[in-house]
Amino acid sequence: MGLSAINPIAFFGLAIALSAVITAGTMFILGRKALHIIWGVFCLAVCVWGGSFYIIAQTHDPVRALLWWKISHVGVILIPILFIHFVYSFLGYTDTRHRLFLGASYAVGAFLLFADAYTSWLINNVKFVFGQFYWVYPPTALYWFLFIFFQILIVYGHIELIWTYFHSADKLQKAQIRYLLAATVLGFVGGGISFSLAFGINIYPITIVTVPLYPIITGYAILKYNLFNLKVVTAQITTVLIFIFTFIRLFTSTSYQDYILNGGLLVIVMALGIYLSRSVTSEVEQRERSEKLAKEVGENAAQLNKQLAEIERMNKYMVDRELKMVELKKENESLQHENDTLKKNT
């Protein structure tokens, strides 16, 4: 099936998966901090959700649709938990209270994943809507819990970011939070509205069109605020373009053999891209360390020269003081001698 033949939801599902997997690849390839890895895994969860949408929107078999809805909810369950994990890492929260809350969130997520995979507690039925695709309906009690759990974590994460924005004196961090808020609000509002169909509110889920925008916004922030070295980013262009082409080929495969071939090619391209990028990144970091060391040596030399000048000034002051004391002593002795002479004469 060509891209022109798929419905809008399938198209935007593919766009979500593509933009999310590219962002995840960028994080894994260029990232050196836990923060980048967490965001990369978050993007993979979004990719699972978006990729499942691509298949769900074209499936007219309720059994197959139900299966892919369960697969999609692996991403839905993980997205709010990984978002909170990312926010905590970004804001540097490492205290016991925040660690316990994060651990509890992952425990709830593990239970929901189990229920999704092995029971019908979370999703047990789908309904054909808009004459185009099957959607989760009606919601189970556990699905209501997931919806509330999802919303609480997302709202809480944004409150933490907004509070830090208004209380931080770090201009770079404030700039990063601005772009992060713009991206995540677009993504979560657009994606969150898609829950409405599961609760009998017949809103066509076209709002997911905003979801692919968040990697673009975060990517702009990466370039604008130098979260990664621009020379390293430039070195990835060829790898990323090949990766995009291979990813599109995988999603447009028409046979099982094509899926195997393009999937294998995608894995090879990603592996080679990671190896190449890590090598380039390592070389750039080594050069940056050398430049930083040279700068520190220069700064230390300047500081040393300043200290030597201060010592020399103090030494001159002390010498001048001693010379002055000698002169005063001589004057005092001369006056004493004159005074003694006057006493004798009288």
Q: Which domains are assigned to the chain? A: 3-228 (1.20.1070.10)
Beta-carbon-side half-sphere exposure of residue 131 (alpha carbons within 13 Å): 0
Report residue 230 as tokens: 């621009």
Question: What's the predicted TM-score (pTM) here?
Answer: 0.68
Beta-carbon-side half-sphere exposure of residue 297 (alpha carbons within 13 Å): 6
Distance CA 173, CA 177 (A): 6
For the chain, what is the largest distance between any 2 Cα atoms, rounded to a whole number of angstroms?
A: 135
- pLDDT of residue 78 exceeding 80, the answer is yes
What would the pLDDT profile of 55-75 be if each residue is shown by its tens digit? 999 999 999 999 999 999 999
What is the average pLDDT across 147-174? 92
Cα 276–281–285 angle (5° rounding)?
155
pLDDT of residue 117: 94
- pLDDT of residue 49 exceeding 50, the answer is yes
Residues with Cβ within 8 Å of residue 40, at least 6 apart in sequence = 23, 24, 25, 26, 27, 28, 31
137-146, 234-243, 256-265, 282-291: least confident range: 234-243
What is the average pLDDT across 252-271? 73
What would the pLDDT profile of 10-21 be if each residue is shown by its tens digit? 888 888 888 888
Cα 106–194–205 angle (5° rounding)?
150
pLDDT band at 3 (very low <50, low <70, confident <90, very high): very low
pLDDT > 90: percent of the chain: 35
Distance CA 332, CA 324 (A): 12
